Amino acid sequence: MAARHRSTAVYRALLKLLPRDFRVRWGSDMVDVFQHRLDQAGGSPTRRAWVWARGLADLLAQSFTERWRARPPLVRGQGLGQDLRYGLRGLVRSPGFAVSAAVTLALGIGAATATFAVLHAVLLSPLPYPESDRLVLLWPEANGNVAMVALARDELTTVQEVSGLSSWALTLNGVGDPAEIDATMASASHFDVMGVQPAMGRSFLQSDELPGSEGVVIL
């Protein structure tokens, strides 16, 4: 929860890149959309990074568009040189806009770099699992559940095995100060599907999925 508040506060501060009139009219809605996307991302670092990359890209694009619309009209038909001189004079007369433009460009480059890094890690580079090219991720439009995993396991005939995953943030307490950790609930076949084994201890058993069985945690 604290991480969500910090992220929202940073995003709200970045909204100051937008013109004031636009920010007053649409700022609250933009914050609500950003918070909703963060909630949908849960505790997954990759999904939260994607939310940030998408939010920054939208914010920078909108900032540039609105400020470009608000610029003084350029004199047409008198050559590129005069247009450039007029633009430079405008920047000199409005240093605040010049700084905002420089910050926007810097953030845009940073957001583009972060987006590419996420895309490279998630989509382009091979996953660190055996036969990773045979892994397929299905993302339901609504919240998934155990019944959906069982249905997919029974109905999908072109896959060898199905595993269900659900990630979120938990608060670990009981010893020392409470700490927020990322947790994932997985079906018993998860490690078999990924082709890996836990670094310590045993893997999940099919009996761990049965109703009434005790919870099993793998660190």
Asked whether residue 194 falls in the same domain as residue 140, the answer is: yes
Please enumerate in sequence order all residues whose Cβ is within 8 A of that of 188, keeping only pairs 6 or more positions apart, or say none. 204, 205, 206, 208, 209
Does a structural domain hold residue 217? no
Asked whether residue 98 falls in the same domain as residue 142, the answer is: no
Does a structural domain hold residue 7? yes
Number of helices (H), then strands (E), belonging to the chain: the values are: 7, 2
The pLDDT score that the predictor gives to residue 149 is 80
Does a structural domain hold residue 44? yes
Asked whether residue 98 falls in the same domain as residue 37, the answer is: no
Q: Is 122:49 a contact under the CB 8 Å cutoff?
A: no
Does a structural domain hold residue 141? yes
Does a structural domain hold residue 195? yes
The pLDDT score that the predictor gives to residue 185 is 83
- What is the span of the domain harbouring residue 96? 80-124
Does a structural domain hold residue 215? no
Asked whether residue 142 falls in the same domain as residue 163, the answer is: yes
Asked whether residue 119 falls in the same domain as residue 140, the answer is: no
The pLDDT score that the predictor gives to residue 49 is 84
Asked whether residue 46 falls in the same domain as residue 17, the answer is: yes
Does a structural domain hold residue 202? yes
| Total tally of structural domains belonging to the chain | 3
Asked whether residue 112 falls in the same domain as residue 176, the answer is: no
Residue whose token pair is 């433009």? 101
Q: Where are the alpha helices (DSSP H) in 15-157?
A: 20-41, 45-69, 80-93, 95-119, 146-155
The pLDDT score that the predictor gives to residue 117 is 78
The pLDDT score that the predictor gives to residue 78 is 52
Does a structural domain hold residue 9? yes
The pTM score is: 0.39
User: How does pLDDT run along the chain (219 residues), one tens digit per residue?
Assistant: 666 778 888 888 888 888 888 888 888 888 888 888 888 887 777 888 888 888 888 888 887 777 777 666 555 545 566 667 766 776 677 777 667 777 777 887 887 888 777 776 666 667 777 877 788 777 776 677 777 888 888 888 888 888 888 887 888 887 778 888 888 888 888 888 888 888 888 888 888 888 888 888 887
Q: Which of 28, 47, 70 is the last residue of a domain?
A: 70
